[in-house]
Chains A and B, each alone.
Chain A
Amino acid sequence: MRCDQVRQQLAIYRELTLDERQVVDHHVASCPDCAAVMHAYWEQDEALSRALGADAIVPSRPWMDDVMDRTVRAPRGRRGAALGLARTVAVAVLAFLVLAVGTVGVSAQALPGSGLYPVKRAVEQVRLNLTRDDAKRAEYLQTLVELRRREVELVLEQQRAAAAAEPGMADPSDSAATPDDSAIGVAFEGPLVQGDAGGWVIGGIAVDVEPAAAQSAETWVGHPVAVEAVVAGGRVTVARLEALPTPTAAAGTAPMQPKERDEQPTVRPSVSPTTSSTALPPSATLTLRPMASPTARPSLVMSATPRPTLAEEGVATARAIKMQTASAAATATARHDASEIRPTLTPQEVKPTAVRQNTSAAAAPDRLATAHAQGTRDARAASDARATTEARATADVWATADARPTSNAWPTAHAAATSQAQATARAVVTPQPTDARPVSPTDEPTPAPAPPTREPTPPPTRWSPTLIPSQVPTRWQPTMAPTEKATAVPPATKAPATPQTERTPVPPPTRSDPTPGTPQRTPIRTPQPLKTPNP
């Protein structure tokens, strides 16, 4: 036996059998090291027993009382209370669940008039609210509609069966023989059909219609209706009818189609420009695209003047309404020019146009700009708030893509004005060559615009055709002098940094005293007649 094995035996020497002890003793007798270990273990036992055995303690009475208080005496109440509360809560929750599930399950078969029917409807509503998918929701709604009709049919069957079982009730369909307490209120939906015998059928259920609802029923024959009725004596009496929206009716009135906007006007304006002026309809937008090659159109020069703000537009308009200028003819000329040019070119298209200026034609926009500036300054203090409001409203209208003239005669009037202006321009302006250079150093040569083409979409900027006073449609009320009419200012909020077009309009041959000014749009949404110029 090796020493390590002997020492393990020495550690538990008292548990060894006699045979094992003889083997160990024989080894220890021949091995001094193992004999020393055996002696050390014996000393350990003596020391441990003497040292620790002498420290034996006796439990004190307070200690034992504490243990008993924490065990046998005290925990019974706490543990019992805790278990009792937990048991009560568990039983209550279980009972609630059982009751709820049972109620919901039983209510699924409930019919109108029963106490569980509201529970059934509430469960249906909850399920409907929890259905997020549109297709499933529609399907479930259709299921509910059919279920409501089926419920009415079942109620009818029950009432008729009960009436047949009672001997005193000969005709189950006789509502007069039915006691009032058997009347059940129902609500269902279905198409309203008038039967051959004059009766009404809603969703396949024959109904009686009360006189108050009879007129509605005659109106909505063939339409799906929602019905509030009373089932009594095996018959359904409709108390209230309400038409349901059909798919076509639900679509509502469709917005005006582009074709309607493109209708050509048939009425030519008859308002004389010398007697009144008409504010430009804010929604009148015509987009004119330039041709690939320049033409002998009246030349345009773009200026770097920033556009006025919306408030300035409105202020200018208000000021223009007050202004009575002696140069109404010149204003009309400028407006004439504007009407010819604005529909033709957008500011971006006009700006790089390289054509020479016509001296006489250039004077008109200058004077018009002067008048506009003066009007702006004077009117700012007077009608800032009102003008701002009007200008913003006008800008909103102009910003819409569906903006269109308020009058159907507008395109015709504009076309006439355009052709007239073109004729004037041909008479005064010398056609420019194709490779003409821009007058301004910043201008770039671009092809001249093509003849105006009307499009339903708004132009990229807030330019609109300016009416020739003589071509103002009759539906437009004259609201301002020709001078103010010419001061149509584009909304600056859209493109405040866009250079303002300074063009060289050609005065019409009918005007000898053109009013200076810049051809600008008047952003008045609802023109108001303030002063009628003297012809």
Chain B
Amino acid sequence: MTSERQSELDALFQRLFAEYRRPILNYLHRLLGDRAQAEEVAQDVFVKAYRHVGRLPADANYRAWLYRVATNAATDKLRRRKLIQWVPLLDTDRSPSESQSTEGSVIVREDVRQALDALSLKYRAPLVLFTVEGYSTKEIAEMLGISVSATKVRLHRAREMFRQSYRGDDRDAM
């Protein structure tokens, strides 16, 4: 690889990094729910992107590619975390005094976090990408490497699962 080509790739990476470091980091933060882990995974995502950016065609969808890399990295991270850490998902684990002392916004945030963590990443990623990040089903399909119809199906199932979990939290909270 010539130095000119390497310089071009370095410039391309720096442009991608400047453009997507914040969305990717936040996307991973919303998927994982932890900033430190999000930063760790995001760092790995960009290192992988730097190593493989030269193999992409010139007209590649770098955003979708970066999100796919991030989703896969988050999946690996969640898989490893599931092995070494138990995350309480049920609201019964939280003491009544604690839930009554926190403010409503914090409670909603925690409930959302709990309901979101109850989903597998297969359904969590399209839900976050669609509802929070605002991507279309076509873009999500590209990011996740699946078809648009599969994305719609996953999104519908994710909404149903989240609704069941989040409504249950509401009942418990009341």
Residues of A within 8 A of B (CB): 7-8, 11-12, 15, 37, 40-41, 43-45, 47-60, 63-64, 66-68, 70-72, 75-76, 83
Contact = CB atoms under 8 A, between A and B. Distances in A.
11 contacts: A7-B160, A51-B112, A52-B112, A55-B29, A57-B26, A59-B42, A63-B25, A64-B21, A67-B17, A70-B47, A71-B47
Contacts of A55: 26, 29-30, 109
A66 B44 CA distance: 10
A11 B47 contact: no
B81 interface: no
B163 A41 contact: yes
A71 B136 CA distance: 31
A53 B167 contact: no
Nearest to A7: B156
Interface string B58-95: 00000000000000000000000000000000000000
Contact of B132 (A8, A11, A49, A63): A49
B120 interface: no
B43 A72 contact: no
A49 B131 contact: yes
B43 A67 contact: yes
A66 B47 CA distance: 10
A-B residue pairs, 9 tightest by C-beta: A71-B50, A51-B112, A11-B156, A51-B109, A48-B131, A52-B30, A52-B132, A40-B163, A8-B156
A11 B108 contact: no
A50 B116 CA distance: 13
Interface string B34-52: 0100110011001100110
A59 B22 contact: yes
A50 B30 contact: no
A47 B22 contact: no
B21 A71 contact: no
Contact of A76 (B6, B108, B113): B6
Interface string B3-15: 0001000100110
Q: What size tier do the contact residues of chain B reach? A: 35 or more
Nearest to B106: A51
Contacts of B42: 59, 63, 67
B50 A8 contact: no
Contacts of B26: 55-57
A53 B132 contact: yes
A63 B43 CA distance: 8
B156 A67 contact: no
Contact of A11 (B46, B105, B155): B155
Given A49-B131, A63-B39, A12 B155 contact: yes
B108 A51 contact: yes
Contacts of A7: 156, 160
B49 to A, nearest CB: 8
A57 B38 contact: yes
A64 B127 CA distance: 28
Contacts of B132: 48-49, 52-53
Contacts of A63: 25, 39, 42-43
B136 A15 contact: yes
Given A11-B156, A48-B131, A52-B112, A72 B50 contact: yes
Contact of B128 (A52, A57, A68): A52
Contacts of A68: 17
Interface in B147-171: 152-153, 155-156, 159-160, 162-163, 166-167
Given A37-B163, A51-B112, 9 more contacts: A12-B130, A49-B131, A63-B25, A71-B13, A71-B50, A72-B13, A72-B14, A72-B50, A83-B1
B159 A41 contact: yes
A59 B21 contact: yes
Nearest to B132: A52
Contacts of B116: 48, 52
A81 to B, nearest CB: 14
A60 B21 CA distance: 10
Contacts of B112: 47-48, 51-52
A56 B27 CA distance: 9
A48 B105 CA distance: 12
A15 B148 CA distance: 12
Given A11-B156, A47-B112, A52-B128, A75 B25 contact: no
Contacts of B6: 76
Contacts of A8: 152-153, 156
Contact of B167 (A40, A56, A76): A40
B46 A44 contact: no
Given A52-B128, A57-B29, A71-B47, A44 B21 contact: no
Contacts of A60: 39
A40 B164 CA distance: 10
A83 B6 CA distance: 14
Interface in B106-143: 108-109, 111-113, 116, 127-128, 130-132, 136-137
Contacts of A57: 22, 25-26, 29, 35, 38
A111 B2 CA distance: 48
A47 B50 contact: no
A48 B21 CA distance: 21
Contacts of B29: 55, 57
Contacts of A47: 108, 111-112, 166
Contacts of A59: 21-22, 25, 39, 42
A51 B163 contact: no
Contact of A66 (B43, B109, B130, B137): B43
A8 B137 CA distance: 13
